């Protein structure tokens, strides 16, 4: 792998943008939000599109790019700020770090907004400023049109094929996330609550001067797909599902899920289902290479899960028929993964512009509607592969589902697997010219290896 300096990498991105978009582009970073008074700030996170071209987080700044040149607009902190914050870099120094061609106070941006394209930021004060300075209502996600739509498409093209600078960061996030998961496994035998395991995992991330790329899921209720509470006590018969990923200081994410037994040893029923999810995970990754449709990978996962559940006697019928009627989605209701980069669901602020090939829209099928990515794989793309098995009460107790799938589920047999609430195995898979490289491969997935890390 060729190491790339920050400035060199950023200049390449700006040049590529200039080749795709003729008009000037202005991107805002957003600003840190105060909690109960302005100086008590919630953690500042710069907008990802800004980070992609500016490289580092700068609170309340904007960049204007045209013909490959970048102008940075930001205010120096007032002199009295040094009392509280110490010496912080001035505009010129930051401009030098990121290879800006010119630097200006923020107020001068208003002179340079003519015909500029932009992408809306999520933070509301800055969003209003965007609309005011551009003198138009800046649209979000699927409502994008004209200049901004052209820009969004160009940015998607760049951000979905990771360059060496991005890969350096993504590898660091992956490596630290692997260590966090190992720490979570090792902490289990000394822990009595989910919160203690979360603490052990996030502690590793914080100790590497990183933050979490998303709210961690660390739970014995893995069937609650976005569970964000950590108050449950651990019981020896529980499985623990941990979906935890680090973000580098410049904003690049990892996204890993592992599921392990609190006692250290999977029960036979837990192991049976775990092996099915693992088979789906492994077979998906083995099939991935440039040109393969991601939806085919999702359907492969669905097929492997359906086949495994038939073998266990939980589902009845031919696996391909079960997938065609979405019966697998009773237990695997989400998509097999998503794009990963500066955001954990990368570029989903643009709706499905990034995730869906032009002309494709979300399916209304139960088994396909939650697929977040429907494009052919290409070299340089980073995606997650995260098949799962869950017993979600809202699905399995739903009278419509029960009626529809009455004949294909052996409910009595299913009841024997009551000690499995949720299993997910998630890795970060880089598409290469010849196939794949799993950036998170250092974290084991096999039952015996996971047991050894927990015990
Ligand atoms: Mn994920």
319 sits in the region (left: phi over 0; alpha: psi -120 to 50; else beta) called alpha
If you ran DSSP here, which 8-state letter would residue 234 be given?
A: P
Q: Are 302 and 329 in contact (CB under 8 A)?
A: yes
Report the relative pairing of strands 388-390 and 422-424 from DSSP bridges: antiparallel
Report the relative pairing of strands 102-104 and 69-73 from DSSP bridges: parallel
Tokens of 418: 């009551």
* Interval 201-216 mean pLDDT: 98
pLDDT value for 143? 86
Q: Identify the CA nearest to 48 among candidates 281, 330, 350.
A: 350
First to last CA, the chain: 36
Asked whether the CA dihedral 281, 451, 264, 453 is positive or negative, the reply is negative
CA distance 27 to 46: 11
Question: Helix, strand or coil for residue 438?
Answer: strand
The domain locations on the chain are 6-159, 164-454
If you ran DSSP here, which 8-state letter would residue 62 be given?
A: E
Domain 164-454 has CATH 3.40.50.1820: no
Which of 3 and 221 is assigned the larger pLDDT? 221
Ligand 1 being an ion, which residues bring their Cβ within 5 A of it? 255, 384
Residue 1 pLDDT level (bands cut at 50, 70, 90): low
Q: How far is the CA of 318 from the centre of ligand 1 (A)?
A: 29
Tell which CATH classification among 3.40.50.720, 3.30.230.10, 3.30.465.10, 3.40.350.10 matches the domain 6-159: 3.40.350.10
Q: How far is the CA of 163 from the centre of ligand 1 (A)?
A: 21
Assess whether pLDDT exceeds 60 at residue 95: yes
Q: Tell me which of 59-68, 136-145, 234-243 is least confident.
A: 136-145
Q: How far is the CA of 40 from the centre of ligand 1 (A)?
A: 31
pLDDT value for 14? 98
Q: Identify the CA nearest to 305 among candidates 387, 428, 391.
A: 387
State residue 21 phi and psi, 5-degree precision. -130, 120
* Interval 370-390 mean pLDDT: 97
* Interval 434-444 mean pLDDT: 98
CA distance 256 to 174: 8
**pLDDT tens track for 155-208:** 999 999 999 999 999 999 999 999 999 999 999 999 999 999 999 999 999 999
Q: How far is the CA of 245 from the centre of ligand 1 (A)?
A: 9
CA distance 299 to 284: 9
Q: How far is the CA of 84 from the centre of ligand 1 (A)?
A: 39
Tokens of 406: 């009455």
CA distance 264 to 189: 8
Q: What angle do CA 76, 78, 80 make, to 5 degrees?
A: 145
Q: How far is the CA of 165 from the centre of ligand 1 (A)?
A: 22
CA distance 145 to 152: 9
What are 73's strand-pairing partners?
62, 104
Q: How far is the CA of 340 from the centre of ligand 1 (A)?
A: 8
Q: Whole-prediction pTM value?
A: 0.96
Rg (CA), the chain: 24
pLDDT value for 87? 85
- 6-159 and 164-454 agree in CATH topology: no
pLDDT value for 2? 56
- SS3 per residue for 346-381: CCHHHCCCCCECCCCCCCCCCCCCCCCCECECCCCC
User: Mean pLDDT of all residues in the chain?
Assistant: 96
**pLDDT tens track for 330-354:** 999 999 999 999 999 999 999 999 9
């Amino acid at each position: 792998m060729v190491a790339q300096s920050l400035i060199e990498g950023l200049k390449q991105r700006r040049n590529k943008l200039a080749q795709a978009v003729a008009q000037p582009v202005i991107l805002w970073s957003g600003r840190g939000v105060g909690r109960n008074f302005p100086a008590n700030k919630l953690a500042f996170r710069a907008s990802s599109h800004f980070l992609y071209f500016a490289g580092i987080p700068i609170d309340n700044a904007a960049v204007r790019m045209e013909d490959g040149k970048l102008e940075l607009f930001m205010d120096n902190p007032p002199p009295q700020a040094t009392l509280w914050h110490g010496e912080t870099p001035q505009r010129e120094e930051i401009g030098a770090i990121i290879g800006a061609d010119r630097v200006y106070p923020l107020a001068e941006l208003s002179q340079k907004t003519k015909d500029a394209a932009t992408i809306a930021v999520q933070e509301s004060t800055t969003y209003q400023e965007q609309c005011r300075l551009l003198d138009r209502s800046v649209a979000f996600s699927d409502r994008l049109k004209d200049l901004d739509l052209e820009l969004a498409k160009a940015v998607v093209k760049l951000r979905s094929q990771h360059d060496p600078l991005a890969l350096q960061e993504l590898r660091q996030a992956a490596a630290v996330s692997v260590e966090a998961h190992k720490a979570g496994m090792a902490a289990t035998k000394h822990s009595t609550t989910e919160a203690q395991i979360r603490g052990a995992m996030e502690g590793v991330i914080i100790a590497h001067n990183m933050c979490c790329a998303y709210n961690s899921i660390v739970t014995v209720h893995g069937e609650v797909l976005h569970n964000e509470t950590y108050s449950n006590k651990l019981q020896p018969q529980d499985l623990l599902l941990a979906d935890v990923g680090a973000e580098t200081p410049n904003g690049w994410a990892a996204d890993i899920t592992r599921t392990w037994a609190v006692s250290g040893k999977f029960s036979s029923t837990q192991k049976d289902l775990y092996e099915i999810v693992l088979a789906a995970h492994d077979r998906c990754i083995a099939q991935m290479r440039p040109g393969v449709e991601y939806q085919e990978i999702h359907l492969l996962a669905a097929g492997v899960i359906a086949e495994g559940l038939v073998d266990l006697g939980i589902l009845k019928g031919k696996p391909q028929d079960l997938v065609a009627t979405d019966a697998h989605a009773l237990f695997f209701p989400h998509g097999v993964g998503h794009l990963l980069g500066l955001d954990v669901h990368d570029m989903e602020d643009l709706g499905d512009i990034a995730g869906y090939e032009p002309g494709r829209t979300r399916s209304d099928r139960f088994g396909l509607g939650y697929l977040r990515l429907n494009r052919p794989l290409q070299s340089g793309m980073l995606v997650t592969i995260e098949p799962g098995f869950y017993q979600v009460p809202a699905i399995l107790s739903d009278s419509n589902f029960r009626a529809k799938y009455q004949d294909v589920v052996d409910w009595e047999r299913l009841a024997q697997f009551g000690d499995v609430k949720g299993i997910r195995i998630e890795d970060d898979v880089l598409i290469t010219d010849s196939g794949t490289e799993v950036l998170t491969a250092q974290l084991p997935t096999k039952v015996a290896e996971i047991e050894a890390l927990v015990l």
